[in-house]
Structure 1
Amino acid sequence: MGAVIAVTGAAGFLGRAVVARARAQGHELRAISRGAAPPEWAGDTGIEVVHADLRRESPPLDGVSAVIHAAARMGGDDAAQAEGTVAPSARLLDHAAGSGARLVLVSSISVLGTAGLAPFARVNEDTPIEPRPERRDAYARAKIAQERDARAIAARHGAMLRIVRPGAIFGAGHLWNAHMGVTLGPLTLGPRHAGELPLCWLAHAAQILLLAATAPQADPVELIHALDDDRPDRARFLAALGRRGLPLGWRGLDMAAGLLTPLAPRLPGLLRRETLRARLMPLRYDNAHAHALGFRPEADFETAMAAARGAA
């Protein structure tokens, strides 16, 4: 295997951060993107830009030691997710595994099933995947399918696989997240509790993904939750943004969603109990696997949020 790291979705929000950090560390890159290359890549001989639409073609992966697969649709229904995320991901990972590369799949903690957890339970890599994905949104279902396919492909080829599940990634231009609740003008309607927000600063996400691509790996499949050490509650998050919140009682929200369960297939995502619990339930989180990989935090929450706001 060569020393080149391939990154799909390289021109996207997360992909650009991975590319920038990798180059700062001296890694050679194959940046795979459907769109135009960012101007800051011009003249950098350490970045080989490959234009490819993963829905229709597989990019060249010869000489690649690891593939960080970050390309995915962020929205859309099941059909759009199948076309834009699930099918291209399976094809890309199969091609990468056949080329002898280590697989690093960017998944999401949205795959986890939290409906059966008690409030303030600790969530880690042993937390089960959602057992009733039909009651969740199309994005969560697509990520569950990606993980299933990645495991099967890695087993078939004997490839090494790391599944990295970032929390809500924030950075310049991407400050808000679905775990906060619903916004009404300057107000935010969300639960009043001291549960942690599963946040991951963009710089930390890039650091963890590069570690996943380069650090020695003993087990054929490893799960890593990419989360900050300093995880604020909702009140602290709103204070950092200078916004006001209208707190709601968590138990009342949960009970109301439970009463609507028979109507779940016809309801918006946040009114489905499983989706509401996944986003708003008071929980604690664990990132010990990221630390075991070598993750070292570079900023606390307020410092990271200030940097993200200042760069926006």
Structure 2
Amino acid sequence: MGDVIAVTGAGGFLGRAVVARAREKSHPVRAILRGDPPEAWAADPGIDVIRADLRHELPALDGAAAVIHAAARMSGDDAAQARDTVTPSAALLQRAAQAGARLVLVSSISVLGARDLAPFALVDEATPVEPHPERRDAYTRAKLAQERDACEISARYGAQLRIVRPGAIFGAGRLWNAHMGIELGPLVLGPRHAGELPLCWLPHAAQILLLAATRPQAQTIELIHALDDDRPDRARFLAALGRRGLPLGWRGFDMAARALTPLGPRLPGLLRREVLRARLMPLRYANARAHALGFRAEAGLEAAMADARRARA
């Protein structure tokens, strides 16, 4: 089998970065996307562009060494997530497994549950996933369904599978993340504490995904959390953003959400306790498995933020 890397969602924020990283490492790429590809790709014979809407058609995957499945809907209700993410994902991964490719699923650290964690607990790949997905948002439920389907397909076909769970990916054009809290004009309403933000700079996410697609695999299914080495607290991240935060404590957020719990699913997402705890609870994070895969950090927070701002300008 050759070293062709197929990338779904290749025209998206993450997909474009993965394609660029693969080409830097001289891997031929099968870039699968719905819209128009970047103009620069036309000059690169190592990128084979395939236009396909995964909801209605599946691309040919024969000859691909690995498939990095990054296509997914970022918002929408359960019906939209099922139609645009969960169902197409299962079909795509099954075709990839039948073609003999390694499966690399882009999931999310949002699948983890924080309900039974103590403040400042260490979160790693052994942390259980959310036990009550009905209390979370549709995106989290879709990612949990993707992971479940991917594991079933891997077991059915004996396909190697790596589930990569990036933290909050940031880069040019996307600097904000839901772990910060609520934006109130120039201010940010979020808890002040020394917990870490589970950040992943875009080039780091692309690096880890390419390593997941190309490095030897000891177990049939592996979980990898894609996180930066430099994981700041909220105050430092706000300073890097040039924003100001309201100095509220974590306990106040948690107590308010607990008082509102009887209202259940009628509440906006961030006012539901499970959602709030998953996004704002003070925690620590580990990325040892990413390092074991070969990950090497290329920048700390301030340098990564400066690079993102330059690229956006």
TM beyond 0.5: yes
Contact 1:113 1:128 in 2 (8 A): yes
Pairing of 1:95-110 with structure 2 (within 5 A): 95-110=95-110
**Residue of structure 2 in register with 1:240 after alignment:** 240
Q: How many angstroms does 1:115 deviate by?
A: 1.2
In the aligned structure 1, how far is the partner of 2:162 from the partner of 2:177?
Answer: 25
Question: Percentage identity across aligned positions?
Answer: 78
Query: Match of 2:311, as an amino acid?
Result: A
Query: Match of 2:211, as an amino acid?
Result: L
For residues 276-310 of structure 1, give each alpha carbon's deviation from its aligned partner in whole angstroms, at most 9, with x where no partner exists.
Answer: 00000000000000000000000011100110111
For residues 98-138 of structure 1, give each alpha carbon's deviation from its aligned partner in whole angstroms, at most 9, with x where no partner exists.
Answer: 10000000000000001110000000000000000000000
Query: Match of 2:289, as an amino acid?
Result: H
Query: Match of 1:297, as an amino acid?
Result: A
In the aligned structure 2, how far is the partner of 1:257 from the partner of 1:112?
Answer: 19
Greater shift, 257-266 or 189-198, is seen at 257-266
2:43 match: secondary structure: coil
For residues 241-291 of structure 1, give each alpha carbon's deviation from its aligned partner in whole angstroms, at most 9, with x where no partner exists.
Answer: 111111211111101111111211111110000000000000000000000
In the aligned structure 2, how far is the partner of 1:87 from the partner of 1:49?
Answer: 23
Q: How many angstroms does 1:180 deviate by?
A: 0.3
Contact 1:10 1:19 in 2 (8 A): yes
Q: How many angstroms does 1:166 deviate by?
A: 0.1
2:139 match: secondary structure: helix
**Runs of 5+ in structure 1 lacking a partner?**
none
Paired residue total:
312
User: What is the RMSD computed on CA atoms of the aligned residues?
Assistant: 0.6
In the aligned structure 1, how far is the partner of 2:188 from the partner of 2:247?
Answer: 8
Query: Match of 1:142, as an amino acid?
Result: A
Query: Match of 2:271, as an amino acid?
Result: L
**Residue of structure 2 in register with 1:85 after alignment:** 85
Q: Does 1:138 align with 2:134?
A: no
In the aligned structure 2, how far is the partner of 1:197 from the partner of 1:52?
Answer: 35
**Residue of structure 1 in register with 2:124 after alignment:** 124
For residues 166-213 of structure 1, give each alpha carbon's deviation from its aligned partner in whole angstroms, at most 9, with x where no partner exists.
Answer: 000000000000000001110000001010000000000000000000
**Residue of structure 2 in register with 1:212 after alignment:** 212
In the aligned structure 2, how far is the partner of 1:71 from the partner of 1:31?
Answer: 11
Query: Match of 1:52, as an amino acid?
Result: A
**What is the TM-score when the length of structure 2 is the normalising length?**
0.99
In the aligned structure 2, how far is the partner of 1:163 from the partner of 1:111?
Answer: 12
In the aligned structure 2, how far is the partner of 1:40 from the partner of 1:181?
Answer: 37
Contact 1:68 1:213 in 2 (8 A): yes
In the aligned structure 1, how far is the partner of 2:282 from the partner of 2:179?
Answer: 10
**Runs of 5+ in structure 2 lacking a partner?**
none
Query: Match of 1:280, as an amino acid?
Result: L
Query: Match of 2:77, as an amino acid?
Result: D
**What is the TM-score when the length of structure 1 is the normalising length?**
0.99
1:232 match: secondary structure: coil
1:260 match: secondary structure: helix
**Residue of structure 2 in register with 1:54 after alignment:** 54
Runs of 4+ residues deviating >2 angstroms? none
In the aligned structure 2, how far is the partner of 1:100 from the partner of 1:20?
Answer: 24
Pairing of 1:223-234 with structure 2 (within 5 A): 223-234=223-234
Pairing of 1:270-285 with structure 2 (within 5 A): 270-285=270-285
**Residue of structure 2 in register with 1:181 after alignment:** 181
Query: Match of 2:291, as an amino acid?
Result: H
In the aligned structure 2, how far is the partner of 1:262 from the partner of 1:152?
Answer: 36
In the aligned structure 1, how far is the partner of 2:308 from the partner of 2:83?
Answer: 32
**Residue of structure 1 in register with 2:297 after alignment:** 297
Contact 1:264 1:271 in 2 (8 A): no
Query: Match of 1:182, as an amino acid?
Result: I
Q: How many angstroms does 1:2 deviate by?
A: 2.4
1:183 match: secondary structure: strand
